[in-house]
Amino acid sequence: MNEVLEREQKVAEAPVKIEKAKIKKVLIICSKGKIEDVYAALVMANGALMEGIEARMFFTFFGLEAITKRHADHLHTATVGNPAFMPGLPTMVAGLPGFEAFASYMMKKEMDKLDMPHVTEFLQMIEAGGGEIYACKLAADMFHLKQEDFVPEVKGIITVGDMYALADGEGTQIIFI
Amino acid sequence: METLVFNETKIDVNEEGYLKNPAQWTPELAHELAREVNITLTDKHFEVLNWLRAKHAEGVALSIRKMGNSGIVDIKQFYGLFPGGPLKISSKIAGIPKPVSCI
């Protein structure tokens, strides 16, 4: 019994070496096309670059909207099925025609006040900072999107296997949105 | 308060090494601070540093985007001049506080 206690004490006293492992690279996967989700991905990717962390972005499913020439700067928020959006607002009202567009317009206005760039400019900033942006092949095929449908910062349309290769290396974190 | 001694002058810095008083900054000090992060300052670097100092004096919240729109460097060049976190590194060399911008 005493032996066990002694051993436990020894284990507890053993100096714990915790090395500060720095994040070297982030791979941010954006699977959603709502304005707030896309901005979360963009802010984190750009924020990583600002800290000297490598950043790769992979857009898939509805997230692809954020990198299309047609829709990148015209993303909406969801006013229906989003309980945090104006709590107490009846779903029927939030679903009225034009309501979502109006709410998204107001949101973008607030973002402009904070000097937040539009999506296309944000993507340009990320590319200029050395970040890389990719589209998901499976989702692009599903939505019938081709390289020419995407903004020029999109480096390629890649498979899930290629996506994991982007996360190669020690100190990489994958963030899914 | 931490201090840094440079050319026999005491310079007040915070725990991260940012100058507490931008008035204590000199171009010679900038060279020294840049050497610590392995950057050799050129005239272009100083254009950026002077712009940052001027904007900080005006009370402008600095961001990478604003630097990119300054007409001095674009964002890519900014990253090239101060690799590994351009706004933070350039602010430190310019003797102004650590930037608080998220963009």
ipTM: 0.87
Q: What tokens does B67 get?
A: 């630097």
Q: Could you say which DSSP state residue B37 is in?
A: T
More confident residue, A15 or A110: A110
Which residues does A contribute to its contact with B (CB < 8 Å)? 43, 46-47, 49-52, 115-117, 121, 124-125, 128-130
pLDDT tens for each residue of B12-68: 888 888 998 888 889 988 998 999 899 999 999 999 999 999 999 998 889 999 999
- DSSP H or E run through A29: strand A25-30
Instruction: With beta carbons less than 8 A apart as the criterion, state whether A29 and A160 touch.
Output: no
Mean of pLDDT values over A38-66: 95
Listed in sequence order, the residues at least 6 apart from B48 whose beta carbon sits closer than 8 Å to its beta carbon are B67, B72, B73, B78, B81, B82, B90, B94
Of A124, A134, A140, nearest to A162 by C-alpha is A134
Side chain identity, residue A29: I
Task: Give residue A19's pLDDT.
Answer: 67
Q: Hey, is A170 helix, strand or coil?
A: coil
For A60-116, give the secondary structure using H, E and C. CHHHHHHHECCCHHHCCCCCCCCCCCCCCCCHHHHCCCCHHHHHHHHHHHHHHHCCC
Task: Give residue B1's pLDDT.
Answer: 59
Mean of pLDDT values over A149-171: 95
Q: Number of residue pairs across A and B with CB atoms under 8 Å?
A: 40
Give the number of other Cβ atoms within 10 Å of residue A60's Cβ: 21
Confidence of residue B11 (pLDDT cuts 50, 70, 90): confident
User: Which residues of B fall within a CB distance of 8 Å from A46?
Assistant: 64, 103
Q: What is the mean pLDDT of chain A?
A: 89
The C-alpha atoms of residue A38 and residue A98 are separated, in whole angstroms, by 21
Confidence of residue A11 (pLDDT cuts 50, 70, 90): low
Task: Give residue A92's pLDDT.
Answer: 86
Query: Active-site residue B79, yes or no?
Result: no
Instruction: With beta carbons less than 8 A apart as the criterion, state whether A147 and A154 touch.
Output: yes
The C-alpha atoms of residue A72 and residue A109 are separated, in whole angstroms, by 16
Put simply, whether B10 touches A (Cβ < 8 Å) is no
> Where do we find the tokens 């060279």?
B31
The C-alpha atoms of residue A113 and residue A122 are separated, in whole angstroms, by 16
Q: Hey, is B12 helix, strand or coil?
A: strand
Smallest Cβ–Cβ distance between B75 and the set A47, A52, A128 belongs to: A128
CA B90 to chain centre: 3
CA dihedral in degrees (A147, A150, A151, A156; nearest 10)?
-40
The C-alpha atoms of residue A24 and residue A75 are separated, in whole angstroms, by 31
Query: Regarding beta strands A25-30 and A172-176, do their DSSP bridges make them parallel or antiparallel, or are they unpaired?
Result: parallel
